[in-house]
Chain A
Amino acid sequence: AQSVTQLGSHVSVSEGALVLLRCNYSSSVPPYLFWYVQYPNQGLQLLLKYTSAATLVKGINGFEAEFKKSETSFHLTKPSAHMSDAAEYFCARSIFGNEKLTFGTGTRLTIIP
């Protein structure tokens, strides 16, 4: 089955520290991969996407993710956490460009002042 696994349902980092949110996928064909962010009481906003071009993808708000086929991973990073980064982050996959998204269980990021 095609799936997305996010390790760590809760991650806490200090303000200014590195943010690393993990995502692994299983897919029999090259996937399209996405990171979405959900701020409290809001909808899902796209942070970045991988569509088989460059393996290092830069997104909004200083986030980036690297597609590693050998590790079947698409981890999200940000060099320096900001208080405004506190939110829930979802990794998602689709097989083709217009197919449904399969989401991971989400990681709640807390920033410690």
Chain B
Amino acid sequence: EPEVTQTPSHQVTQMGQEVILRCVPISNHLYFYWYRQILGQKVEFLVSFYNNEISEKSEIFDDQFSVERPDGSNFTLKIRSTKLEDSAMYFCASRSPDVYTEAFFGQGTRLTVV
């Protein structure tokens, strides 16, 4: 069964460092998303991406964040200068172009900023 793959599963970084979280969406999907879940809190939308551009972003997704689909398969989330409060589980999701279909989520990357 096709699945969304995220790497790494866990990343520890020092405050102020840049991190790149990687995702390989399901191959025929056209809509891509990043969500995050701070420990003990709900899953929050960060950004959606379609047709090689951001289609919507939340207020969390400030200038420190960026997304890219560099090679037609990977979908990355970059945090330029990490803060302690960026520590969270980050989920990538993708969805097919068909109506009434659900988003498929990856296993997540746990980011710990120290």
Contacts and interface: CB of A to CB of B under 8 A. Distances in A.
Interface of A: 32, 34, 36, 42-46, 49, 51, 90, 92, 97-106
Given A43-B91, A43-B108, A44-B91, A101 B42 contact: no
Contacts of B103: 101
Interface stretch (B65-73, B79-87, B94-102): B94-102
A43 to B, nearest CB: 4
Interface of B: 4, 31, 33, 35, 41-45, 48, 50, 56, 91, 93, 95, 97-108
B41 A45 contact: no
B104 to A, nearest CB: 8
Contact of A98 (B44, B91, B97): B97
Query: Which 5 pairs across A and B sit closest by C-beta, in order of nearness?
Result: A44-B105, A43-B107, A51-B100, A103-B43, A97-B99
Given A44-B91, A98-B31, A100-B48, A105 B102 contact: no
A105 B33 contact: no
Contact of A90 (B4, B43, B106): B43
B102 A42 contact: no
5 contacts: A44-B43, A90-B43, A101-B93, A103-B35, A106-B42
A103 B105 contact: no
A97 B101 contact: yes
Contact of A103 (B44, B56, B95, B97): B44
